[in-house]
A and B are shown apart, each in its own frame.
Chain A
Amino acid sequence: MRFFTTLFTAFRALRRNKMRSLLTALGIIIGVAAVIAMVGIGNGAKKQVEDQVASMGDNVIMVFSGSSSRGGMHGGSGSAGTLTIDDANAIAREVPTVEAVTPEVEGSTRISYGNQNWSTRLNGVSADYFKVRSWTFSQGTPFEERDVSAVAKVALIGRTVSTQLFGSDEEALGKTVRIKHVPFTIIGVLGPKGASFFGRDQDDTIVIPYTSAMKRLLGIKTIPRITLSVERGKSLAPVQQQITELLLQRHNIANERDADFSVRTQEEMARMATATSSIMTTLLGFVASISLIVGGIGIMNIMLVSVTERTREIGIRLAIGARGSDILLQFLIEAITLSLLGGMIGVALAFGVAELVREFTEMPVLITAGPVMYSFGFSAAVGILFGFYPARKAASVDPIEALRYE
């Protein structure tokens, strides 16, 4: 009974000062919304990576030239590496359960069609590439092994390139573009894939036979990367091990620690990528939590002002028989109500922000129960924590002093 009366009294005091209550809660509102939105964006990114791994298939292994300790994960694009075409062939030949193998050479390049130009990523690969990476085709067909042997001037382009240079995939088919003055005929357009988990637009690419890329455009003899797929249902670890042993032998390296290449499964790479985004998520959540604390201090500040302002009211209540604990409860409930109310509005705001982010950016936002509950609980805790000091101050007011207060 008394608790509900006190609750009611506190609500009424807040309702009386609607604007002030709202402004006081604003810190919490923003804090809660920030926590939820930030963690939501982080989790969205993580989810996207996981989805991509799932869609790419969990059967892909990449071999990078350069040791892992020297940061060879990405491979120098277009740079001379330690891997050769023979290495790729050897893997295809000698490692069992390997399904498809492709060397990959990369470089950024400018392609032109008529008087139009577009800078994009050049990918030199074998015919197996499309199988390894599970590409689909919007138009045309992939090149074949024979095109690779013939150092053919054929190319497939991604959706982004076709849109930029031709307006549509249909228009692109059969056209001839120039890469460093060398004409290439477009025999196909790749199906769209979207951004990779490193944030790169996978559709902004032109794919040609690796032979053409190495001899005609890049003038290199080594390759930075070999990508391969393993038969479905076969475990990757032994394959990884076999590749490592094979390459060590071929490169005449005795100790695995001295390896001039690194072998990674798709999953390992995804884990690296998500590890980064997990750290980011935690960090963002932490920074946003600080704004919750700042919001709490805002509540404390206003509550302190309010206690002083209402000294006389406190005096009257004490004089007619309120206990210190009644006054404490009254002000504490006010503070908690403010922060919980702020929490609720903040949650709503977070969902709104998530919608906006989805609407206007490519970023996926994933709001889960965890951060909502966390920030809500946090705001309640903030209310109790920062409401307690002003409430105790109110409760310890001397009734006579308070009644005399003007």
Chain B
Amino acid sequence: MWPQINRVASIFFIHSLARAGIPPYLGALMSSIIHLDQLEKVYRSAEEPVYAVRSVTLDIQQGEFVAIMGTSGSGKSTLMNILGCLDRPTGGSYQLDGVEVSSLSRNQLSDLRNRKIGFIFQNFNLLSRTTALENVELPMLYRRSAMSRREQRDKAMKMLDLVGIGKRAYHTPNQLSGGQQQRVAIARALINDPVLLLADESTGNLDTRTSIEILGIFQRLNDAGITIVMVTHENDVAQYARRIIVMRDGRIRSDTPVTQRLNAEEELKNLPAVDAA
């Protein structure tokens, strides 16, 4: 399974480079996928304005794997929503893959979410009473492309195989375990070849083994060149990334590379046999 991920993922990677008009061999030297300058998000709905994100300046390069940590209410989800083009900042600038996002219209944001971003949620957010396969196809249906229904179906099927759940293609979410649902969600996030994968506490609802399996998928995708930003509360989980950003009160408190990076494949081997059963 892993070599296959590598192969498919590197194809995505090369595609995204081609889209950006940059030759693949320059990939390693690439400019920022995410460029935040003095980013701010203030909620003014309450009596007192809530400064959820204040003056965040940050660069994330192509191919990075970043974990964002921080106490509850420190603004992680708010930041992720902005990165995911689900929300607009109230100040500062956000450039995604060279495009200034803060000034885009609602429809343009929709298109960006569709083409450039794969979002993975803590609670999976799959359409209920809709098969895994159809859930994965969904982003393609909203993409204005000339792909035939057959091609779409084939691609979705391949993607499900890739995350190791091809056998459950015709199951609906309520017939799947949490880990299986999250795999479907990852397949859905990847289906339109995004340049950026965002995961907000996407292992938060899963047991240790399943979490590590999901993190393994992330690591392989990342090894193949996909940029990943994930939010987590658990220090263990963050150690699978390459870089850790800690937030507090809407600001970045620290930004450090991971020194002793964990490898999901090895960790899985070390797990006690009881857990595996």
Q: Which residues of A contact B (CB under 8 A)?
A: 2, 5, 16, 312-313, 315-326, 399-400, 403
With A16-B129, A320-B138 known to touch, is A2 a contact of B107 (CB < 8 Å)? no
Q: Which of B81, B141, B192 contacts A5 (CB 8 A)?
A: B141
Nearest CB in chain A: distance from B153 CB, A: 13
Q: Looking at the complex, which of B91-99, B113-121, B231-239 is the stretch in contact with chain A?
A: B113-121
Do the beta carbons of A2 and B139 come within 8 Å of each other?
no
- A95 vs B222: C-alpha distance when bound (angstroms): 110
The 8 closest A-B pairs by CB, nearest first: A321-B114, A323-B110, A320-B139, A321-B113, A321-B142, A5-B141, A322-B142, A399-B86
The residues of A that contact B125 with a CB separation of less than 8 Å are 312, 315-316, 319, 403
Do the beta carbons of B127 and A323 come within 8 Å of each other?
no
Q: Which residues of B contact A (CB under 8 A)?
A: 81, 84, 86-87, 106-107, 110-115, 119, 121, 125-127, 129, 138-139, 141-144, 188, 192
Smallest Cβ-Cβ distance to A403: which chain B residue: B125
Do the beta carbons of B86 and A400 come within 8 Å of each other?
yes
Do the beta carbons of B188 and A321 come within 8 Å of each other?
no
Do the beta carbons of A317 and B107 come within 8 Å of each other?
no
- A2 vs B129: C-alpha distance when bound (angstroms): 21
What total of A-B pairs shows CB separation below 8 Å? 60
Greatest chain B CB density within 10 A among A312, A315, A321 is at A321
- A315 vs B129: C-alpha distance when bound (angstroms): 16
Greatest chain A CB density within 10 A among B110, B127, B188 is at B110
Greatest chain B CB density within 10 A among A2, A324, A325, A399 is at A399
Nearest CB in chain A: distance from B182 CB, A: 15
With A2-B141, A323-B142, A326-B142 known to touch, is A318 a contact of B121 (CB < 8 Å)? no
Smallest Cβ-Cβ distance to B81: which chain A residue: A400
- A2 vs B138: C-alpha distance when bound (angstroms): 11
Do the beta carbons of B138 and A317 come within 8 Å of each other?
yes
Q: Which of A16, A316, A321 contacts B110 (CB 8 A)?
A: A321
Subset of 11 A-B contacts with CB under 8 Å: A317-B138, A317-B142, A319-B113, A319-B119, A320-B138, A321-B110, A322-B110, A322-B142, A399-B86, A399-B87, A403-B125
Nearest CB in chain B: distance from A35 CB, A: 36
Do the beta carbons of A320 and B87 come within 8 Å of each other?
no
The residues of B that contact A313 with a CB separation of less than 8 Å are 127
The residues of A that contact B114 with a CB separation of less than 8 Å are 320-322
- A312 vs B110: C-alpha distance when bound (angstroms): 16
The residues of B that contact A323 with a CB separation of less than 8 Å are 106-107, 110-111, 142
The residues of A that contact B110 with a CB separation of less than 8 Å are 318, 321-324
The residues of B that contact A316 with a CB separation of less than 8 Å are 125-127
The residues of A that contact B112 with a CB separation of less than 8 Å are 321
The residues of B that contact A16 with a CB separation of less than 8 Å are 129
The residues of B that contact A324 with a CB separation of less than 8 Å are 106-107, 110
Smallest Cβ-Cβ distance to B146: which chain A residue: A1
- A315 vs B125: C-alpha distance when bound (angstroms): 9
6 more A-B residue pairs beyond the given contacts A318-B86, A325-B107, with a C-beta to C-beta distance below 8 A: A312-B125, A319-B125, A320-B114, A321-B112, A326-B142, A399-B86
Do the beta carbons of A321 and B111 come within 8 Å of each other?
yes
- A320 vs B125: C-alpha distance when bound (angstroms): 10
- A316 vs B188: C-alpha distance when bound (angstroms): 11
Smallest Cβ-Cβ distance to B141: which chain A residue: A5
Nearest CB in chain A: distance from B148 CB, A: 9
The residues of B that contact A2 with a CB separation of less than 8 Å are 141-142, 144
- A324 vs B110: C-alpha distance when bound (angstroms): 8
The residues of A that contact B188 with a CB separation of less than 8 Å are 320
Nearest CB in chain B: distance from A333 CB, A: 14
- A313 vs B143: C-alpha distance when bound (angstroms): 18
The residues of B that contact A400 with a CB separation of less than 8 Å are 81, 86-87
Smallest Cβ-Cβ distance to B125: which chain A residue: A316
